[in-house]
Amino acid sequence: MGYLIEYGMFLAKAVTIVIAIVIIISAISSSGGRQKKPGKKGSLKVSRLNDHLEEMRDTLRLSVLDKDDLKLINKKEKKQAKADQKEKKSLLKQEQSEKDDAEISRSKRVYVLSFQGNIAADAVESLREEITAVLSMAESNDEVLVKLESPGGMVHSYGLASSQLVRIKNENIPLTICVDKVAASGGYMMACLADKLVAAPFAIIGSIGVIVQLPNFHRVLKKFDVDYEMVSAGEYKRTLSHFGEITEKGREKVQEDVETIHDIFKTWVKDHRPAIDIDKIATGETWVGAQAMERCMVDDLRTSDECIIDACKEADVYEVEYEFRKSLQDKLGSVLEESTAKLFGRWFNRSTNDIYQ
């Protein structure tokens, strides 16, 4: 009984929040009909991850070490920094004397991008802007590291996302892709482009297959004597639909199209990872990182955190994010989505705890 009361309270809260936000959004929409001046699409945010790691290390030191240990470490680091600076100046002078008009050498730069994929691969809009920005500065001795998470989605959307990564390869800039959780189907279509593909030991990899599915209500309409008319030109303009009768000929055509796309997908993966046995892995199955490595689908088993920390030891590492401007309605919509998700998550956690207590 207590469970039902708690669920009722949760439902009342959720409905109240939804109604309140809908009213606010409606009021803003009705009053926001004025023409807005065109502005920037968004903004580029760049963070130096070396500084972030050093800041966390220094904060921990202050909490853990005593004053004498801190002084000793700071003294040692200052001495090492002076030695490194002196060595750098010496190398620069030597290089300048050998080549007066040459560009002064610099440290390697690693640009970190993130791609969080959904069915429509909406993150490609930010990815294309980030890659455009990076390619305006990156050189062949630099590197691009992409943190990729995606269960896959629509073929044409992930085809575009993959093409954005090809732009990096066309400029001969090393591309590393890290998968911490999942790169399946369209996600693996992107991931296989990496010069070095790194996966966490339990990341989900694979699903090299194609699927088409849709509900069909033809028999429901027929039961209630509802006619459905569709006018088209071209024998295969419409093969399967939600309301029309599914014919064997239409089903065979869709199957043929699916097989064709699957063959293209297999060729794409094989071209970029020639070491794999494509016929054994292109079955639609998925594997965890360790299994995927055995099948030559990934190159190393590590998390993106390890890759970034190692990169910070030898390079200047920059996280690059492109954020699109959001209207007030979009922001309110995001608040609604987050609030609803938190409410459902809280209720789910409570109900789970009740079950296992």
What gap in Å lies between CA 213 and CA 201, rounded to an integer? Answer: 31
Q: Which of 150, 157, 162, 185 is catalytic?
A: 185
One-letter amino acid at 249 equals: K
Tell me which long-range contacts 259-264 makes (C-beta under 8 A, separation of at least 24): 261/155, 261/210, 262/209, 262/210
237 among known catalytic residues: yes
185 among known catalytic residues: yes
Q: Which of 223, 237, 280, 313 is catalytic?
A: 237
**Other C-beta atoms lying within 10 Å of the C-beta of residue 251:** 12
Angle, helices 304-314/49-64, rounded to nearest 10 degrees: 100
Residues forming the active site: 185, 237
